[in-house]
Amino acid sequence: MPKSWQKESVIVIAIALILVYALPFAINTFTLSILLIYGMLGLSLGLIWGFGGILCFGQTAFFGLGAYAYAISAINIGESTLPLIFSILVPAAFAALMGAMMFYGRLADVYLGVITLVVTLILFKFINSTASPIYVIGEARLGGYNGIPGFQTLNIPGRPDDYIWGDAFYYFCFAALVIVYLLVSWLLRSSFGRIAIGIRENDERMSLMGYDTRARKTVLFAIGAAIAGLAGGLFANWAEIVTPGLFSLGQSAEIIIWCIVGGLGTRLGPIIGAASLAYLKFLLGQQSMIDNTLIMGLILVLFVLFLPKGIVPAISDLWAASFGRRRKRLRKSRRGTRVISNG
Amino acid sequence: MVEVALETRNLNMRFGGICAVDNVDFKLNAGDLRCLIGPNGAGKSTFFKCVTGQLEPTGGQVFMRDEEVTGWSPHEIASLGVGIKTQVPSVLDGLTAFENIWLAARRFLSVTDANRMTDEVISRLSLGDIINSDVGQLGHGERQRVELGIVMAADPWLILLDEPAAGMSAKDVDSLTNIIHEMLKSAAVIIVEHDMQFIRSIASTVSVFHQGAMLIEDHVDRVMADQTVRNVYLGKKA
């Protein structure tokens, strides 16, 4: 693993530049865009679950909130810059509030899962029941189960008539994902990230060291929600409609599967898990012989049984076993490797 | 006047009808060493948890350096400069020994100073061989040492150790004795311990707990000779 963040960033950007041009030869950019968006959503849970130990069953709540925040503010503002910022801030604020309630209330593990699940359900039910015209925010009708169509989609900042769509939207999503990935990498290398990993390992020990673990978990939870929200905002632009289906439990469960299959505790794993499973689902959706949730379930079971650490850790273990041995020995003889191994 | 590191007044901890800590008045001066002993269920660990904030006492007060800290949460107490080692080794299993100690140092120091402090603690505890090993894969004695490193890295002025010698080999106990003498140079130390051999080897004032109350406080040799103590705790051996 490269040692400094700068060095790693250069490598990430170089690989990203190759991929951004290579991928459209295999898959069309419209499909690629949604895979990138799901990748970002996967990364958001991968961050808080894999590095913060917070298992959130309601990551779609933040995804959906981001999408709705974008749609509602885009209708009211008629330009996309602020709405995209709102799609980050609204879910982050909501998560900060919700996280503070959970973490200061000393809820842990399974209760946390239940609460996040229930909040997602409440949002789903609530948005579903807003079909009546009385549910209006500014000029935007919430629309209930019909969702909100016809909002201003992404445009060049300050020029509402110059839309970013098609290939340009794909490049935009790719750049957004790379930036988020680099920010997450930077965060995990910072003291804040290292402390968050410490809290994942042993909450009690960290508080006996003098860290306020409740506040730190709340902040991390909000950061995860901000990333999920941005993914939601981009999704709204991709689909050009937002519906209560965004808050569905099926989607919530899928994000968890993405993280497990891709590799928990890595940054790349959840992105790869999300993109590959979403693409598989897309391919399976084109046939009607077998129900694709069945296949998703089967994949999860197979991974848990045979590759419990996920794709990315398995590949990097394999890499280390075949090529990495000499480098590792070299590194060990040098004193003080202060880098956390996180794929 | 000597500064008081820790004082409790009428400290009480009740669980329903059971009084686990019964009106305990306790005082420890800065730089002193004190061992808490007593039979199982005497209330030592409950007393310890009330002082460290892991339990909120049902009555009485706790003072540290003349500041009342009753009912504070563990992170607030630790932030005062209090180092705590719990009964069951509490370390960060998935991380390296270096990272464990670094995180403790980083709480009070900048990144550069934390790096320096971590190196210093590692050499003081001779952890050099295992600094890059995951703590979860280390032996019990080594894990205990890493936890002592975590405590030392924060450079505390009050150290609370719950059964530090538990499960250690004779050699490890020897090095533990040295570590505690090292700690005493800059801090007051309270040790909850069963191992009488070990307590004798660090020869200090001992507080004996019995049924939640403080039975006697005196030098270890006199405590051992006391008939009441022998009856409640040591049986006829010792």
Q: Which is more confident, A132 or B169?
A: A132
The Cα–Cα gap between A209 and A202 comes to 11
The tokens describing A117, both together, are 């699940």
pLDDT at B238: 38
B88 burial via Cβ count (<10 Å: 0-12, 13-18, 19+): exposed
* For B156, nearest residue in chain A (alpha carbons): A209
Q: What is the pLDDT of residues B72-114, one digit of tens each?
A: 999 999 999 999 998 888 999 999 999 999 999 999 999 999 9
- Cβ <8 Å between B78 and A206: no
The tokens describing B88, both together, are 């069951």
Q: Compute the 3-state secondary structure of chain A and give helix, strand, coil in percent, each to the nearest 5.
A: 70, 5, 25
Selecting from B84, B93, B99 the residue whose C-beta is nearest the C-beta of A208 gives B84
Task: Name the region of A158 (left: φ>0; alpha: ψ -120 to 50; beta: rest).
Answer: left
Q: Is residue A298 part of a domain?
A: yes
CA distance A198 to chain B (A): 6
What is the ipTM score, two decimals? 0.90
Task: Kindly list the residues from chain B whose CB atom is less than 8 angstroms away from the CB atom of residue A207.
Answer: 73-75, 78
Q: Is residue A8 part of a domain?
A: no
CB B32 within 8 A of CB B24: no
* Structural domain of A76: 28-333
CA distance A343 to chain B (A): 14
Residue A326 has pLDDT above 70, yes or no: no
Q: What CATH number belongs to B1-75+157-238?
A: 3.40.50.300
A69 burial via Cβ count (<10 Å: 0-12, 13-18, 19+): buried
A59 burial via Cβ count (<10 Å: 0-12, 13-18, 19+): buried
- Region(s) of chain B under CATH 3.40.50.300: 1-75+157-238
CA distance A265 to chain B (A): 11
The Cα–Cα gap between A206 and A196 comes to 9
The Cα–Cα gap between B33 and B213 comes to 20
| Cβ within 8 Å of residue A54, ≥6 positions away | A48, A112, A217, A220, A221, A224
Residue A3 pLDDT class (50, 70, 90 cuts): low
Residue B188 identity = A
Total Cβ atoms within 10 A of residue A191: 14
- Cβ <8 Å between A202 and B92: yes
Q: Is residue A6 part of a domain?
A: no
Q: Is residue A106 part of a domain?
A: yes
The Cα–Cα gap between B128 and B103 comes to 17
Task: Say which residue the tokens 């295992």 belong to.
Answer: B130
Selecting from B86, B107, B119 the residue whose C-beta is nearest the C-beta of A210 gives B107
- Cβ <8 Å between A194 and B106: yes
* β-sheet bridge partners, residue B84: B160
CA A104 to mean position of chain CA atoms: 24
Selecting from B84, B92, B108 the residue whose C-beta is nearest the C-beta of A198 gives B92
* For A210, nearest residue in chain B (alpha carbons): B75
| Cβ within 8 Å of residue A69, ≥6 positions away | A83, A86, A87, A89, A90, A91, A229, A232, A233
Query: Mean per-residue pLDDT for B222-238?
Result: 72
Strands B33-37 and B205-210: what pairing?
parallel
Residue B205 identity = T
- Cβ <8 Å between A205 and B79: no
Task: Kindly list the residues from chain A whose CB atom is less than 8 angstroms away from the CB atom of residue B104.
Answer: 209
Q: Is residue A313 part of a domain?
A: yes
Query: Mean per-residue pLDDT for A258-271?
Result: 95
Q: What is the pLDDT of residues A192-230, one digit of tens each?
A: 999 999 999 999 999 999 999 999 999 999 999 999 999
The Cα–Cα gap between A106 and A264 comes to 24
Q: Is residue A101 part of a domain?
A: yes
CA dihedral A22, A23, A28, A33 (to 10 degrees): -130
CA-closest candidate to residue B83, choices B149, B144, B159, B28: B159
- Cβ <8 Å between A208 and B99: no
Q: What is the pLDDT of residues B120-171, one digit of tens each?
A: 999 988 888 899 999 999 988 888 889 999 999 999 999 999 988 887 888 8
Selecting from B75, B93, B115 the residue whose C-beta is nearest the C-beta of A201 gives B93
Q: How many domains does chain A have?
A: 1
Total Cβ atoms within 10 A of residue B163: 22
